[in-house]
Structure 1
Amino acid sequence: MTTIVLASNNQGKLAEFRTLFDGAGLALNIVPQGELGIDDAVEDGLSFVENAIIKARHASRASGLPAVADDSGLVVPVLGNAPGIYSARFAGEHGNDAANNAKLLKELEKFRTGAPIVGKFICVLAMVRHADDPLPIIAQGEWMGEILPELRGENGFGYDPLFYIPALDKTSAELDKAQKNAISHRGQALQVLLERLKAEHKA
């Protein structure tokens, strides 16, 4: 079994990765970087792609193992595509979901005129086979929805309780894991990544 380092300690992301990797039949073991004593990388890129590659190379260099990194966030056009790459630290403290959601709601108050506020989740995955891999695998997913004026649902993490999918009449936080993995930005990107890995495995 091949071990791949996940350049994140986010338990929600880890669960989603493991579910999809376990079902792919590729004998891959995902280990979060914290279990290997690896600190977070400095995310000083200007795009989701840049930050994903930075994180993947950092985890691979520190571990000597292949690594995969996720850089994802919520893009809201009426806010000039904020919070974007700063989604996890929108309110100042990295990973404080309650504060980030509260700030997003506050920022959107003046735009609530009756029409739905559109938002889009973006996920970019970067996988490197080694730290200096000249050709990282890049996979991307996008998920359209609306931003509600109040939280709904207990599942998920991040902005999930505010991200509403009209076709399902549910927020991302009201979906079970299987539903979310089938349609989410991260689920889409992971499926692309897994198809690439399967192709490499057969080659």
Structure 2
Amino acid sequence: MVDILIATGNSHKFREIKSIMGDFAELNIVCLDKSFQIEIVEDGETYEENAKIKTEGYIKFLDENPGLKSELNLSYIVSEDSGLEVDCLNGTPGIFTARYAGENASDTDNINALLNAIKSKKNCMQNRHAKFVCLTCMYDVKKHSFHYFRGELNGLIDKEVSGAKGFGYDPIFFVPEFNKTVAQIDASEKNKISHRSIAFRRLAETIKESGPAYESKTYKRI
């Protein structure tokens, strides 16, 4: 059995990651719910740095809680940092994607801020190319080593919101292959093409031989 802790407090991301990695039946995917209060300050300058900061935050938390660490008996701790890069905005918002409109900004706030920024740039009229980037950081508990996997999804920034599926910037990220925004694509299809899917499938491929199937679950504080 390969027990993998996904180091995130974002329930949307965890459900998506669990679904992506569900094809690899030998992996036991777990997460900790928000009651554990793990504080992470993402002050890195790259996706890789931020992903590692998250992973190290969970490593530290588990070292400080040996009972929980023993119960989990993890093989790997995995985190990810992702972002949206818009060509005509010189690659922004990038690592600031989740807080483009400010700290604690909602998805709607971020989308509106991005669309307004694009409207203010003349060169965005003809070039609306963008890409989603996902960088995963996998910590091997036994070997005490870090490994990184990257995934990208190319597309265009639409002029208006379309679709109610997904989260984040999905309603304005248009995928020419489907002639739809990501928020209009079924989750099963999204999980075949997304930046997060590419990165996590690459990660899972490297460890899929490690053990038999086991049920995904969430550990909660009693």
Question: Is the CA contact 2:153–2:194 (under 8 Å) kept in the aligned structure 1?
Answer: yes
The Cα of 1:179 is off from its aligned counterpart by: 0.4
- SS class of match (2:41): coil
Q: Corresponding residue for 1:71?
A: 81
Q: Aligned letter for 1:53?
A: K
- Provide structure 2 residue ranges, at least 5 long, that are not aligned to the other structure: 63-68, 213-222
The 1:62/1:141 distance shift into structure 2, 3 A limit, reads same
Q: Does 1:195 align with 2:205?
A: yes
The Cα of 1:9 is off from its aligned counterpart by: 1.7
Q: Corresponding residue for 1:18?
A: 18
The Cα of 1:177 is off from its aligned counterpart by: 0.9
The Cα of 1:188 is off from its aligned counterpart by: 0.4
Mapping 1:129-144, distance limit 5 Å: 129-130=140-141, 133=144, 135-144=145-154
The Cα of 1:43 is off from its aligned counterpart by: 0.7
Q: Does 1:39 align with 2:50?
A: no
Distance in structure 2 (CA, Å) of the matches to 1:60 and 1:33:
16
Mapping 1:89-168, distance limit 5 Å: 89-94=99-104, 96-111=106-121, 114-130=125-141, 133=144, 135-168=145-178
- SS class of match (2:98): helix
Distance in structure 2 (CA, Å) of the matches to 1:32 and 1:141:
25
- Aligned residues between the structures: 200
The 1:161/1:114 distance shift into structure 2, 3 A limit, reads same
Q: Could you give the per-residue CA deviations for residues 41-60 of structure 1, whole angstroms, max 9, x where no partner exists?
A: 11111100110011011112
- SS class of match (2:84): strand
Question: Is the CA contact 1:72–1:121 (under 8 Å) kept in the aligned structure 2?
Answer: yes
Q: Which moved more, 1:166-175 or 1:86-95?
A: 86-95
Q: Which moved more, 1:142-151 or 1:14-23?
A: 14-23
The Cα of 1:93 is off from its aligned counterpart by: 2.4
- Provide structure 1 residue ranges, at least 5 long, that are not aligned to the other structure: none
Question: Is the CA contact 2:6–2:29 (under 8 Å) kept in the aligned structure 1?
Answer: no
Mapping 1:164-183, distance limit 5 Å: 164-183=174-193
Q: Aligned letter for 1:123?
A: C
The Cα of 1:27 is off from its aligned counterpart by: 3.4
- SS class of match (1:71): strand
Q: Corresponding residue for 2:91?
A: 81
More relative contact order, 1 or 2 (CA 8 Å, 6+ apart): 2
Aligned identity (percent) is 34
RMSD: 2.2
Which segments of structure 1 move beyond 6 Å, counting only runs of 4 or more? none
The Cα of 1:90 is off from its aligned counterpart by: 0.7
The Cα of 1:110 is off from its aligned counterpart by: 2.5
Q: Which moved more, 1:2-11 or 1:168-177?
A: 2-11
The Cα of 1:187 is off from its aligned counterpart by: 0.5
TM-score by length of 1: 0.89
- The structure with the larger Rg is 2
